[in-house]
Structure 1
Amino acid sequence: ILQSAGYIEYETDPDARARLKFLLGRDELYKLYETTPNEEAVISALLRNYSGLFSDYRYVEEALISQVSGLSQNEVYLILKSLSHRRILHFIPQRKTPFITYTQDRIDGCDVVIPASVYDQRKEQFIKHVNAIEAYATNNHVCRSRQLLRYFDETKSEDCGICDVCVDHQPNPNAEQEFKDAKQAILDLLADHKPHDIKETSELLLPRKAFKEALKYLCNEELVHIDGLLIYR
């Protein structure tokens, strides 16, 4: 966001380029006998395209060495690492970490003045977020997945078929039997005619929809009573 607004720029540190220096003298280098053809091609490309490599570190470009030697950049990199390990040269690989340059003056936090309109905008956004969360938790008619996608402006979607909303709306051929089983399980729990904590009903492990319908039916028929957190017959 800051980059698109023109507040910062990403740049590559010029000191991050690859550098190397030969540790062997020119005469010693020509006397090497244990180098492979690929290593010789890389050494030859270095000597032909860069000067001063025996006296100081010089910036080198692996892409250029690759082009001149006929090898891939990865092969050039591995060969330079190998030559460095054998103390023929010292190779410092390129660092790829970018750095940021601020294109505008930075203001201390104590001096920043935020206009009221920004607070109003943030408040409005916060209210929308809260309303969206509340709607997601209370909406039992629209697929949960579709609600989430709609929040992110993805309007073309289909029901997932596996969330609680989708499952509740799927036809259940066993619904009648589950309702009867749930009703009987509740009555059996309260058969002692003593008040029970409503949380005890969760131990019955009944299908959620069947349990809700059975409990509503029993309360409407005054077969079961609920008083606060207590349930009894």
Structure 2
Amino acid sequence: MPPIPHPDRSFAAFLFDMDGTLIDSIASANRAWTRWAVRHGQDPTAILATMHGVRAVETIRRWAAPGTDVEAEAAQLTRDEIDDVAGTVAIPGASAFLAALPPQRWAIVTSAPRALALVRLAAAGLTPPPMMITADDVRRGKPAPDPFLLAARRLEVAATDCLVWEDAPAGIAAGDAAGAAIAVISATHHQPMETHHPLVPNYERLMPVVDGDGRLRVVAQS
């Protein structure tokens, strides 16, 4: 029996992070950020340890030399990432899990720019949902709650009535700050994560269902 996140709760909507949660794009992202670090005389290891789950502009602002044109660097990095999505795949079971959800009851909430998100989703064979919040839509990205609050508002539900699916500390912190329930996908984790939230390896053998009140639950496939 696979672990079921929040088996005793139902939700108005599901909000999914993208990278590391619905798709595995780590190899592609690491290559792009390593190239950026080398160009700027930075240690790639340190940058790769801090860039997951947050907007590129925040990582660049943190690591670039004073006077760097952060927006221009982020735009160039996005172009590099769009040009290199080799090895990007869906997290096991994600495609079937998403296909079983009512289209108006879930959203992707990603720190990637929209253009990059669409390319990565296509590379992984996933269809974008009608609602997608990206780095382009907010002034404050994760770990601020703004992206999840905006997604809930556009779905016309309360953030506290949503289940957030995440993989990275910044995203988990954002979901917590929004007051949502959290499920942590560990498919791309190389080391155990310390968290009080439910940990789920992937979506295999899990299935979303709509109960009699029109609310979403997660159950185990028979």
**TM-score, scaled relative to structure 2:** 0.21
Relative to its length, the structure with more helix (as a share) is 1
- Greater radius of gyration (CA): 1
Q: Larger relative contact order (C-alpha < 8 A, sep ≥ 6)?
A: 2
Name the structure with the higher strand share: 2
TM-score calculated relative to the size of structure 1: 0.20
